[in-house]
Amino acid sequence: MKRILKGLGIVAVLLVGMAVTVPPNNKYFEIIKNLEIFSNLYKEINTYYVDDVDPGHLMRIGIDAMMESLDPFTNYISESEIEGYRFMTEGKYNGIGAVSKKMGRYVTITDLYEGQAADKAGLKPGDQIIAVDGQDAGDKDPDAINNILRGFPGTTVELDIRRPGRADDFKVTLVRTEVQVPNVPFYGMVGEDIGYIALTTFTRDAGANVANALKDLKSQNPALKGVIFDLRGNGGGLLNEAVNVSNVFIPRGELVVTTKGKVKDWDRSFSTMGQAVDTDIPLVVLINKNSASASEIVSGVIQDYDRGVLMGQRSYGKGLVQNTRDIGYNSKLKLTTAKYYIPSGRCIQSVEYKDGEPVHIPDEKRTPFKTHNGRTVLDGGGVKPDIMVDEFSSEPVVKSLLEQDLIFHYVTEYCLHHDSIASIEGFHFTDFDGFLDFLGQKQFDYDTESEKLLKQLQKKSSEEGYALEAQIGQLEASIESTKKDELVQNKTAIIDLIEKEIASRYFYQKGKIQMGLRNDAEIQQAKSLLNKSGDYENLLKG
């Protein structure tokens, strides 16, 4: 302890010495002054606070508070979080090959990567992790559990598992391996002469994998007349892979993105460097509100060069570039260093966030730019598709089913009674009444926006002395009656979600994508557009 205090004292003396030599009107004086204050504060708390304090935990709280005052994408990555960072950039990590989520008291497995340790050991979606290496996992932070599950390849971890439909818990020992997750989990034909490629993340080799998928589709289908490129839910990744993916569809030497930040020496322009696979084949790019960063670069580039038609919902609006800096002890700082600008000159960055989510910017407040063919496009708040399509599962009742994991739990019970299903093409879920009975057993309920407003009105009117209980009660009863019909009204969307979840249990991520393609309204609309060459060309001509 004396040695630590002595070290902190030396740091303080050095900082004081530096402060003396720096002019007080210099910005660096403020930095040095506040570092000294922080150092002294940290020392005093650790030395004299009435209870024992974990120095690492205390510092992490301070760091997280500092990060929260900046944009949502500037983050501190501790040594224990490095594997998660590696997965985001490389598409691989060391672990057991399972995706999990906290449901109730326990972390529950929700997805398995085919052929990885958890899959080989016979674990299933719905399995609850009761203990890890003999330590109770109840009510534990899911990130802490995942950090334990990740580790050096060849090391083991013992899990106590509780499985629905099985009376007793059981143990399983897993050997950690390097888990590599494909960024192009599926490509194939979705109709007569129409190809489809799904890209889920811009990790290493994303450009090469998309290029190979397109080459394969062309070689196996000489009459290929259009491609649907699916970037829905793709949160981005590596900037250079955004350039490489763009290069699949646009020729060599074309500007893709320019980055501009505080450090002018770091400003750069990125252009395509290789030979495109196909610069002419009709292309529809699907995006939604969860398409972000690199996805927005690629979709924006396709739009700016009028290379293809964008379809779906407005994208997330992340026009910021992050770089990582090593800050010692195998930890990193991921910080925003620049904004990126696509070929038309626009930046798609949302200018305001609330609770980490972008706030919608009205079109009239966004600056207009022009595409290569002279079509008007707007900056800020994400990329707006050329064809806007209502989100398939945006109804409140559907959102509530997903948020409460009720479709997941229903499918877990369904799989207890079905060892297998027919092929993706031949399977159809027909027991919607059984699903409604399940919801009744679980006492499913949710609050609509109207109900939330009524509760606010009830509270406010009571505070102000207005007797509105009878009127509010009548409105609540009317809403409750309408809510019962909403499940049936959204039957198609709910069955689609159930079928995709069932397909994932037997055929992994690839099966889920294939099942989704069969029912996907946006896929059908994209196919229709590609089959009408005149409509497609007129859209791009503006």
Do 154 and 296 have their domain in common? no
Do 222 and 269 have their domain in common? yes
- Single out the residue of 341, 358, 253, 354 nearest to residue 297, CA to CA: 341
Do 335 and 438 have their domain in common? no
Torsion over CA: 388, 389, 393, 396 (sign): positive
Residue 314 domain flag? yes
Do 385 and 452 have their domain in common? no
Do 381 and 400 have their domain in common? no
Q: Which of 53, 69, 84 is the last residue of a domain?
A: 53
Report how far residue 309's alpha carbon sits from residue 271's, in angstroms, rounded to the nearest whole number. 21
Q: How many residues does the chain have?
A: 542
Residue 59 domain flag? no
Do 373 and 505 have their domain in common? no
Give me the pLDDT at residue 427, please. 94
Give me the pLDDT at residue 465, please. 82
Residue 63 domain flag? no
pTM of the model: 0.78
Residue 486: count of CB within 10 angstroms of its CB: 16
Residue 407 domain flag? yes
Residue 304 domain flag? yes
Residue 310 domain flag? yes
Instruction: Report pLDDT digits (tens) over 242-275.
Output: 999 999 999 999 999 999 988 888 889 999 999 9
Give 264's DSSP letter.
G
Active-site residue, from 127, 160, 230, 304: 304
Residue 542 domain flag? no
The encoded tokens of residue 428 equal: 């159809």
Q: Say if residues 58 and 46 touch (Cβ distance below 8 Å).
A: yes
**Considering the chain, what is the average pLDDT of its residues?**
87
Give me the pLDDT at residue 92, please. 60
Q: Which of 145, 180, 215 is the last residue of a domain?
A: 180
Report how far residue 6's alpha carbon sits from residue 409's, in angstroms, rounded to the nearest whole number. 57
Give me the pLDDT at residue 444, please. 87
Active-site residue, from 246, 293, 295, 299: 293
- Clarify whether 171 is annotated catalytic: no
Domain count within the chain = 4
Do 28 and 175 have their domain in common? no
CATH number at residue 286: 3.90.226.10
- Single out the residue of 278, 294, 275, 279 nearest to residue 199, CA to CA: 294
Bridge-based pairing of strands 309-312 and 387-388 is: parallel
CA angle 76-77-81, nearest 5°?
150
Find tokens 């925003």 and name the residue. Answer: 336
Find tokens 């294939």 and name the residue. Answer: 514
- Clarify whether 293 is annotated catalytic: yes
What distance separates the 2 farthest-apart alpha carbons in the chain?
80
The encoded tokens of residue 98 equal: 């399972």
- Single out the residue of 303, 258, 256, 254 nearest to residue 275, CA to CA: 254
Annotate 463-520 with DSSP letters as a single string.
HTT---HHHHHHHHHHHHHHHHHHHHHTHHHHHHHHHHHHHHHHHHHHHHHHHHHHH-
Q: Which of 338, 365, 389 is the last residue of a domain?
A: 389
Q: Say if residues 510 and 185 touch (Cβ distance below 8 Å).
A: yes
- Clarify whether 520 is annotated catalytic: no
Do 216 and 329 have their domain in common? yes
Do 379 and 424 have their domain in common? no
Do 361 and 492 have their domain in common? no
Domain limits for position 115:
92-180
How does pLDDT run along the chain (542 residues), one tens digit per residue? Answer: 444 444 444 344 334 444 444 455 577 888 888 889 888 988 898 888 888 888 888 888 888 888 888 877 788 877 766 655 555 555 567 789 999 999 999 999 999 999 999 999 999 999 999 999 999 999 988 888 888 888 788 999 999 999 999 999 999 999 999 888 899 999 999 988 999 999 999 999 999 999 999 999 999 999 999 999 999 999 998 889 999 999 999 999 999 999 998 888 888 999 999 999 999 999 999 999 999 999 999 999 999 999 999 999 999 988 887 778 888 878 888 888 888 899 999 998 876 766 666 777 788 888 999 999 999 999 888 999 999 998 766 688 898 999 999 999 999 999 999 999 988 888 999 999 999 999 989 988 877 777 777 788 888 888 888 888 888 788 877 777 777 788 888 999 999 999 999 999 999 999 999 999 988 989 999 999 999 989 999 999 87
Residue 219 domain flag? yes
Phi–psi pair at 111, nearest 5 degrees: -150, 155
Instruction: Report pLDDT digits (tens) over 204-219.
Output: 999 999 999 999 999 9
Q: Say if residues 270 and 240 touch (Cβ distance below 8 Å).
A: yes
Report how far residue 299's alpha carbon sits from residue 307's, in angstroms, rounded to the nearest whole number. 10
CATH number at residue 104: 2.30.42.10
Do 161 and 192 have their domain in common? no
Give me the pLDDT at residue 297, please. 96
CA angle 96-184-539, nearest 5°?
145
Do 7 and 155 have their domain in common? no
Active-site residue, from 318, 332, 384, 483: 318
